Amino acid sequence: MDPLYPFVLLGLFSPGPNVILLTASGARFGFRATLPHVAGVVIGVGIVAGMTGLGIGAILVAQPTLQYALKIAAAAWIAWMAVALWRSSARQADDGRARAFTMIEAILFQWINPKLWAVALAAASGYAAGLGPWGEAQRLALAFSGLNFFVCLFWSFAGALLALLLNTPAAWRVFARVMSLGLGAAAVMVFL
């Protein structure tokens, strides 16, 4: 078996911004409402992984200013989501505007997801198969998207199952705050 696959599976399955957001979305909005978010993560992860195969990771490493700007954007967006999750209520929307991520929002989030970039860059550099840039891009994109599809379904469904236990405002508040703290830690870890 290609060692790329277990590396990618473990990298994507472990807690990070996508896992936290998908679990929270499944718990708050339900499994079905979270499916566009799942689709966006799967597509976005494949695009980022494919781009690393084409060498965009080398550009980021060579351009510290661009890399720092990406880190600031990532930390700000993740911190904003952490605050929103901290303030959220259970399935009932406070003002009617609460909803799961759309597919496009989830795709765009992958561009500043620091954990994804770290896993994709490590996979591109550590598990290259000796293919040309387009071959590596395709290999990475398919491995990341294919494996992440099941990872995203798992965490979204786990969140939907957790909703059965989160049937009081106090239970939701504890869950939302734990998940929010996880996102806050991810925002800080961007700079480590």
The residues spanned by each domain of the chain are 4-189
Average pLDDT of the residues of the chain: 90
Q: What is the DSSP string of 21-79?
A: HHHHHHHHH-HHHHHHHHHHHHHHHHHHHHHHHHTHHHHHHH-HHHHHHHHHHHHHHHH
Residues 108, 54, 60, 150, Cα dihedral to 10°:
40
Confirm if 158 and 23 have CB atoms less than 8 A apart: yes
Tell me what percent of the residues of the chain surpass a pLDDT of 70: 96
Q: Among 83-97, 128-142, 163-177, where is mean pLDDT lowest?
A: 83-97
Model confidence at 91, pLDDT cuts 50, 70, 90, reads low
Q: Identify the CA nearest to 187 among candidates 114, 78, 88, 44.
A: 78
pLDDT digits (tens, 9 = 90+) for 147-181: 999 999 999 999 999 999 998 999 999 999 999 99
